[in-house]
């Protein structure tokens, strides 16, 4: 079979609308070899094949030992070092050990207990939108709501002071840029390294404060684990995970809010149903995340010969998992390009599967289920203030600007 290429996906047209590319992939099978010019050897995109690959112990994250063999000079880049010290880029027992520590915070019970706090954080954001939108003035929903709410929630969990959270956004975006499929170049890596140094310095200082004055937050809890001795958490792991967990803790949720509101405002019947029946929010948000997966790609490498979707994957191969394409697979999802919150089918893969299943999935769902009904109930004349600009990022697909009016 002829090899596939990412060239179409990486084009301006592919970035604006990757779904036509996904549909073509599905016509060619669940997994394909890439032509070698794209930085990956295999592309896995069928639902069953991606689900299998996410759970395959022979397909692992591209961790520090992998990079040491592939390109030892990577350690010169602070951004890469911090990423590889985190649970997002580790495997086996190292991953399981640190995930257990963070899992003590992201428990379903603790997330449920957070719901009144999420509502309390939502109210002043709605007040500000009302103030800014007085007289019909357009308001950027992304900067005034979709970013600050998830940032405030994860900031409360970790222990990042409220006045510092807006400072994080440009640094988070700088590090996120090098995770694009074609995002690493001199300029993006320089910006990411600078951001990583600044974030490291910030968390070193905050950790010193929490050692002296512990609070009821994740940073204090992790420092207490360190103080208890043993090898549960190194300083490098502490810093790497504080940076990446804070970053990842709101990016997906931010884009879920952006896509969720845009789809509501272009589907008035669904907006009316959500206002009339807030319980509809749960199924609505699951379809938002399937239809517009905010993090539609994952990367793995084969530590031994394996296969996905019937395609052999030789040891050493680099593998791109297209979760966004899997969520548009017509086999489990008939008419996958139709937005339908009532659809039946298997659990979409927007939060992954297997050992790297998203740690904050329950938190993302809780934020949406609490805040979205509050938003649409507060503003009965909510509408778009202009045409939607298509997202340009592939790895973190979402809007930078979403202008709305509330009067």
Domains and CATH numbers, the chain: 7-405 (1.10.630.10)
Q: Are strands 59-60 and 297-302 parallel, antiparallel or unpaired?
A: antiparallel
Q: Give pLDDT tens digits for 336-347.
A: 999 999 998 899
Q: Which helix (H) or strand (E) holds 146?
A: none
Band of residue 230 on the pLDDT scale cut at 50, 70, 90: low
High-pLDDT (> 70) share of the chain, %: 99
Residue with tokens 């032509």: 35
Chain mean pLDDT for the chain = 91
Q: What is the token pair recorded at 208? A: 């010193």
Q: Output the pLDDT for position 231.
A: 67
Q: Give pLDDT tens digits for 385-394.
A: 988 888 878 8
Band of residue 118 on the pLDDT scale cut at 50, 70, 90: very high
Question: Mean pLDDT throughout 185-199?
Answer: 94
Residue 298 has pLDDT above 70, yes or no: yes
Give DSSP secondary structure letters for 245-298.
HHHHHHHHHHHHHHHHHHHHHT-HHHHHHHHH-GGGHHHHHHHHHHHT-SS-EE
Identify which of 31, 27, 38 has the alpha carbon closest to the alpha carbon of residue 5. 38
Beta pairing partners, 404: 139, 384
Burial category of 163 from C-beta neighbours within 10 Å (exposed 0-12, middle 13-18, buried 19 and up): exposed
374 compared with 233, residue with greater pLDDT: 374
| Distance from the Cα of residue 212 to its chain's centroid | 33
- pTM (2 d.p.): 0.93
Contact 228, 207 (CB under 8 A): no
């Amino acid at each position: 079979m002829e090899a596939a290429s990412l060239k179409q996906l990486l084009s301006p047209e592919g970035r604006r609308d990757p779904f036509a590319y996904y549909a073509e992939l599905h016509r060619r099978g669940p997994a394909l070899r890439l032509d070698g010019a794209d930085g990956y050897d295999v592309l896995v995109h069928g639902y069953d094949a991606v689900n299998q690959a996410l759970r395959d112990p022979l397909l692992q994250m591209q961790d520090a030992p992998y990079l040491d063999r592939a390109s030892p000079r990577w350690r010169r880049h602070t951004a890469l070092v911090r990423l590889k010290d985190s649970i997002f880029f580790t495997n086996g027992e190292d991953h399981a050990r640190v995930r257990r520590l963070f899992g003590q915070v992201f428990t379903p019970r603790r997330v449920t207990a957070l719901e009144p706090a999420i509502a309390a954080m939502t109210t002043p954001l709605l007040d500000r939108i009302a103030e800014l939108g007085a007289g019909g003035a357009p308001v950027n929903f992304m900067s005034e709501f979709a970013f600050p709410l998830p940032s405030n929630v994860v900031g409360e969990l970790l222990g990042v002071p409220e006045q510092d959270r807006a400072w994080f956004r440009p640094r988070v975006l700088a590090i996120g840029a090098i995770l694009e499929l074609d995002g690493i170049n001199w300029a993006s890596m320089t910006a990411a390294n600078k951001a990583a140094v600044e974030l490291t310095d910030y968390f070193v200082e905050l950790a010193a404060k929490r050692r002296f004055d512990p609070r009821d937050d994740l940073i204090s809890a992790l420092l207490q684990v360190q103080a208890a001795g043993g090898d549960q958490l190194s300083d490098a792991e502490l810093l790497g995970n504080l940076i990446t967990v804070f970053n990842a803790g709101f990016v997906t949720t931010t884009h879920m809010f952006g896509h969720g509101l845009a789809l509501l405002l272009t589907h008035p019947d669904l907006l009316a149903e959500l206002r009339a029946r807030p319980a509809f929010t749960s199924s609505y948000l699951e379809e938002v995340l399937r239809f517009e997966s905010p993090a539609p790609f994952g990367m793995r490498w084969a530590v031994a010969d394996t296969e996905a979707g019937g395609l052999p994957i030789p040891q050493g191969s680099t593998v791109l998992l297209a979760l966004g394409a899997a969520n548009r697979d017509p086999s489990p999802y008939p008419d996958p390009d139709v937005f339908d919150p009532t659809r039946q089918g298997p659990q979409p893969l927007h939060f992954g599967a297997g050992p790297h299943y998203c740690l904050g999935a329950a938190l993302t769902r809780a934020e949406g289920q609490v805040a979205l009904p509050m938003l649409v109930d507060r503003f009965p004349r909510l509408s778009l203030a202009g045409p939607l600009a298509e997202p340009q990022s592939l790895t973190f697909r979402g809007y930078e600007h979403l202008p709305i009016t509330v009067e």
